[in-house]
Amino acid sequence: MTTKTLPKRAILFDHDGSADDFLSLVLLLTMKEINLLGISITPADCFLEDAISTTLKILSIAKKKEIEISTGRFHGINAFPVEWRAKPKILNALPDLVTIDTPFAVDQFKESTEMFAQRILTSKEPVSILMTGPCTNLVHALDKTPAIKEKIEEIVWMGGAVDVEGNVKTYNHAGTAEWNVYWDPIASNKLLQHKLPLTIIPLDACNQVPVSIEFLKQLSSQSEYLYSRLAGQFWATTIDTIPSYEYIYFMWDVLATSYLDIPEAFVTEEMELNVHPTGPNSGNTERKKGTDQWVKVAKSVNKSYFYDYLLKQFKYTP
């Protein structure tokens, strides 16, 4: 008798190079049921070159250098503060990464919307998309190649602030938006109009999981594992979060990534949402009846279940 194994879930990952974006990549690479088809880097909460380096170094450690990387060439309307964008430079200098040589030329990588279209159209299985930065590449890919729409199984996006305050604190803004949505509010607005199967992990849930010294101590107690050590080092760089806008760094992207593996840890609600495209509330993800733009929204998470899961996964040895 032959046993047939189910195909792994095909995933495209679009990240924007902050510390938790990279830990999301590490976490993805520990998941048994996932086939990572490609990685897109959006130059939003990072400088592209730094983020390419870190991504290559992580793939090298994971022995997954064959995974394709593409680069986003679009820039959002509302740029991230440069202090945040420069912060991940430290990551490439950390002891476990600094000696990993990964030379590259920026123009060797495909442009992200092209990679999205190609990977989705040639995939035998439907593809799910995990985004831990803005959604600009996906929205432009949908514009250019509408045929990909039918093959998208689910989109999981760290983005939004529905029933809680946003984390954008800047001029001409009411503080109602989350940064990934606000970077390109026009694209974010369009994404919802596509009415695709979309799950968002907004600040409503992320606010429950700050990077805490308690958790870093737990990680440190298992630092014989490379991924635990990396996670501890990466998160340690976030403890001095630049106070011009907010004081706490949360596990935003890592929480969204974990949804792929432990959806049972989340309380979700289906709701009709709209994204404000312009004005002082631009990027606000607001409840709006009658839009028919149904989104699955993570409202809360079982925090200890999530932390235990992370501690287990970061024992993975590549």
**What residues line the site for ligand AGV (CB under 6 A)?**
18, 20-21, 45, 84, 132-133, 158, 167, 178-180, 241, 246, 249, 252-253
CB 169 to ligand AGV: min, Å:
10
The β-bridge partners of 267 are: 300
- Binds 249: which of ligand AGV, Ca ion, none (CB < 5-8 Å by kind): ligand AGV
Query: How many residues in the chain?
Result: 318
Q: How far apart (Å, rounded) are the C-alpha atoms in residues 45 and 34? A: 26
CB 11 to ligand AGV: min, Å:
17
CB 278 to Ca ion: min, Å:
23
CB 275 to Ca ion: min, Å:
17
CB 90 to ligand AGV: min, Å:
12
CB 79 to ligand AGV: min, Å:
12
Q: Which residue is nearest to ligand AGV (CB)?
A: 18
Nearest to 245 by CA among 85, 19, 41, 42: 85
Q: Which residue lies nearer to Ca ion by CB, 58 or 271? A: 58
- Binds 204: which of ligand AGV, Ca ion, none (CB < 5-8 Å by kind): none
Q: Which residue lies nearer to ligand AGV by CB, 78 or 167? A: 167
Q: Which residue lies nearer to Ca ion by CB, 116 or 250? A: 250
| Torsion angles phi and psi, residue 58, rounded to 5 | -65, -40
Q: Which residue lies nearer to Ca ion by CB, 118 or 137? A: 137
Q: Which residue lies nearer to Ca ion by CB, 133 or 160? A: 133
Q: Which residue lies nearer to ligand AGV by CB, 249 or 266? A: 249
Q: Which amino acid is at 47?
A: F
CB 46 to Ca ion: min, Å:
8
CB 183 to Ca ion: min, Å:
10
- Binds 179: which of ligand AGV, Ca ion, none (CB < 5-8 Å by kind): ligand AGV
- Binds 228: which of ligand AGV, Ca ion, none (CB < 5-8 Å by kind): none
Q: Which residue lies nearer to ligand AGV by CB, 84 or 234? A: 84
- Binds 184: which of ligand AGV, Ca ion, none (CB < 5-8 Å by kind): none
Q: Which residue lies nearer to Ca ion by CB, 45 or 118? A: 45
Positive/negative CA dihedral, 68, 181, 130, 242: positive
Contact positions vs Ca ion (CB under 5 A): 16, 18, 21, 132-133, 253
Nearest to 236 by CA among 257, 217, 255, 221: 217
